[in-house]
């Protein structure tokens, strides 16, 4: 979407770029357009918006912030538990996907054997 100018959701080419804003505008009111990285560090986002369906795609605006995330955050594929490589099964009580080694469902309390 950022490079192509095409919305991946609806195929529209009416994609607007929010990447040319001044730094103090880009952080948003009350720092709403940033994500926390670690400690005092935040990363501003560049947003691209589809004018047809409203889909928003966000990118880290600053290269140094991206480098900091690469040093500080775990890779999705190396995490354990939620979303990692751990296999899941669905809870017989509520159907939520739960890591296989969990003893009970955190949502409905159903014991898992
Ligand atoms: Zn769209
Ligand atoms: Zn459950």
What are the tens digits of pLDDT across the range 9-22? 999 999 999 999 99
With 70 as the cut, is the pLDDT of residue 30 above it? yes
Cα–Cα distance for residue pair 41/113, rounded to 1 Å: 43
Residues near ion ligand 1 (CB < 5 Å) are 7, 9-10, 12, 50, 52-53, 55
CA 8 → CA 12, 13, 66, distances in Å? 8, 10, 23
Cα–Cα distance for residue pair 101/38, rounded to 1 Å: 30
Residue 73 Cα to ligand 2 middle (Å): 29
| Helix and strand counts by DSSP (H, E) for the chain | 2, 6
Closest ligand by atom to 9 CA:
1
Q: What is the pLDDT of residues 33-64, one digit of tens each?
A: 999 999 889 999 999 999 999 999 999 999 99
CA 37 → CA 1, 24, 43, 87, 98, distances in Å? 24, 18, 7, 28, 27
Residue 81 Cα to ligand 2 middle (Å): 16
Q: What is the pLDDT of residues 65-79, one digit of tens each?
A: 999 999 999 887 776
Query: 82 pLDDT band (50/70/90 cuts)?
Result: low
């Amino acid at each position: 979407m950022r490079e192509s100018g095409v919305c991946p959701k609806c195929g529209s080419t009416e994609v607007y770029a929010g990447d040319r804003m001044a730094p103090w505008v880009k952080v948003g009111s009350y720092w709403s357009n940033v994500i926390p990285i670690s400690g005092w560090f935040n990363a501003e986002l560049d947003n691209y918006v589809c004018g047809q369906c409203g889909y928003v795609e966000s990118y880290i605006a600053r290269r140094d912030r991206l480098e900091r995330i690469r040093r500080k955050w775990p890779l999705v594929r190396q995490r354990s538990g939620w979303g990692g490589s751990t296999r899941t099964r669905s809870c017989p009580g509520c159907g939520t996907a739960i890591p296989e080694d969990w003893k009970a469902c955190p949502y409905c309390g159903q014991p898992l054997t």
